[in-house]
Amino acid sequence: MARKSPSQLRSARWYNGEGLRSFSHRTRTRQLGIGAEEHLGKPVIGILNTWSEINPCHIHLRERAEAVKRGVWQAGGYPVELPASALCGETFQKPTAMLYRNLLAMEAEELLRSYPVDGAVLMGGCDKTTPALLMGATSAGIPSIFVPAGPMLRGNWRGRTLGSGSDMWRAWDDKRAGLVDSAQLAELEDGLARSPGHCMTMGTASTMTSVAEVLGMTLPGAASIPAVDSGHSRMAAASGARIVEMVWEDLTPATLLTPEAFTDAVVTVLALGGSTNAVIHLIAMAGRAGVALSLSDFDEIARGVPVLADIQPSGRFLMEDFYYAGGLRGLLSRLTPWLHLDRRVASGWTLGESLAHAEVFDAEVIRPLDNPLAKEGGLAVLNGNLAPAGAVIKHIAADERLLRHTGPAVVFDSYADLQARIDTVEATADSVLVLRGSGPQGGPGMPEHGMIPIPKRLLRQGVRDMVRISDARMSGTSFGTCVLHVAPESHVGGPLAVVRDGDLITLDVPARRLDIEISPEELAARLATWTPSPDRYPRGYTALHAEHILQADEGCDFDFLAARGETPEPDAT
């Protein structure tokens, strides 16, 4: 493989030559305290760091950036840290961090394109940061490696091990049912999240960092290391060293992100019992790489891939247990019949070579093929007259008795309507709770409202699951019989917009169906008289979002970012 020479570095267009602009660029670099011997002729490595003081998942990334820089310097590169937006899951950022995923993707792409950067280290992990950074780097087209934030330590309360998100939902339902008092809930607040790092359940964060690894965008084993483990700092430094070599090798996302890589990512998500959000993110990420990926691909692969990771919310264990059991490399070593082992990954090896010495040390956490948690993947794609473009359910985290169910609809027109009426509606355990107005445009940004709360009266009767349907998403840490991502969304006139209280709705997961039990003529008549809601966003980013956002089945990218074509390099002279 031919290696780049120093004169072929992208940054050389800024620094080399006798022109005025090159003179200015070198002068300003001296102003930074950097001498010629420290940067000229060396790969400039942009470190996109999503650290902030309001993102607890990333609070340690300031320190990890120093480890990355150490690795870059040791390998003969010049590191430059570039702060990027710290999307904070659903914790603080409202109405949803998903509203801003594409904004971070744009920021990442333009930071890498507009500065004299030869390669990139992408630092993230909290839910939307992983797909956003990878989408941006893919479009920028320069060598890039991802450094996952890593999962936090296990939670603890009164001798019980707790999972972030999953046990929060359970505790909140217990509080509403009168089984947990305010003092106990206050104790839980102290015990649920005990260290830096993203959720340690198989929520969206752990799912998407695992996706980054199997796609070949991290060093082998990077996604499973707990955030506070010393191995995490060593991984960050090794990533910094490796990206310098990737620049010389010109190992770009276009080389790594092949159709086979995305197929392997889908296989991995399904075997992990991963987050439903991965469906949206992977479709968007594949689109940036010019790879066709659809809902039907997920469903087809799901029918043949078993769930092997016994991790909350679908299973019993947590990411710390997964790490000690062999981590993602251990899981992938079980999945080799489904994987494309001859494709390259960021280490420079093939995927098969990176798994050569992988082992599983606990067969309870990472199940063998002959003892899976479930015989087919944990996600299913539904179609029917209520979801013409598809919907998604994480049926492995649902009550099995509800996977074939017909019941009367109880409809909420918005999340505000839901909050106001959920505990007063006339509903039974057989009712189907329907939430609309929470899709990509209607939310806006498709908030995680899909785990619709169960009415308090029913909770006190012992009901812990019901069929729930929405055009929203739900947290990857959530569980229950929740049909999500119904497309087209209600805000743009999808059939969900015309469901009425009392309409019978049928969910049939084995048949992959979601239907409203009215005649085609009645459905057409209702849709013909439907009128859209007035535009709520006359200006700003939300107006841009509303105008250009794609639907859930298309990955919720912006149409102009998903468009094919090359963006010209900036003139550096």
- Whether the per-residue pLDDT at 1 is higher than 70: the answer is no
**Residue 30 neighbours by CB distance under 10 Å:** 11
Average pLDDT of the residues of the chain: 95
Give the alpha-carbon dihedral of 332, 337, 342, 345, to 10 degrees: -20
User: Given this model, what pLDDT does residue 147 score?
Assistant: 98
The shares of helix, strand and coil residues in the chain, as percent rounded to the nearest 5, are 40, 15, 45
The secondary element (H helix, E strand) that includes residue 21 is helix 20-31
Top CATH class of 380-529 equals: alpha beta
In this predicted model, what pLDDT tens digit does every residue of 492-535 receive, in sequence order?
A: 999 999 999 999 999 999 999 999 999 999 999 999 999 998 88
User: Given this model, what pLDDT does residue 204 score?
Assistant: 95
Exposure string over 315-349, b if 16+ CB within 10 A, otherwise e: bebbbbbbbebbbbbbbbbbbeebbbeebbbbbee
Give counts: helices (H), strands (E), the chain: 22, 14
How far apart CA 243 and CA 312 sit, in angstroms, is 33
Identify the CA nearest to 197 among candidates 188, 187, 206, 208: 206
In this predicted model, what pLDDT tens digit does every residue of 261-273 receive, in sequence order?
A: 999 999 999 999 9
Q: What percent of the chain has pLDDT over 90?
A: 88
CB 313 within 8 A of CB 199: no
Q: State both tokens at 16.
A: 């080399």
Exposure string over 213-239, b if 16+ CB within 10 A, otherwise e: bbbbbbbbbbbbbbbbbeebbebbbbb
User: Given this model, what pLDDT does residue 525 score?
Assistant: 98
The secondary element (H helix, E strand) that includes residue 105 is helix 101-114
Furthest CA-CA distance within the chain = 80
The conformation of residue 413, written as its DSSP 8-state character, comes to: S
Complete DSSP assignment for 384-408? ETTEEEEEEE-GGGS-GGGSEEEEE
User: Given this model, what pLDDT does residue 557 score?
Assistant: 98
Identify the CA nearest to 312 among candidates 195, 199, 209, 431: 199
User: Given this model, what pLDDT does residue 2 score?
Assistant: 80
CB 495 within 8 A of CB 527: yes
Q: What's the Cα-to-Cα distance from 259 to each of 227, 317, 485, 529, 533, rounded to whole Å? A: 31, 32, 24, 43, 39
How far apart CA 204 and CA 446 sit, in angstroms, is 15
Residues 6+ apart with CB under 8 A from 236: 64, 65, 67, 68, 71, 147
**Average pLDDT, stretch 375-390?**
96
Q: Which amino acid is at 516?
A: I
Q: What percent of the chain has pLDDT over 70?
A: 100
User: Given this model, what pLDDT does residue 53 score?
Assistant: 94
CA 158, 453, 316, 285 dihedral sign is negative
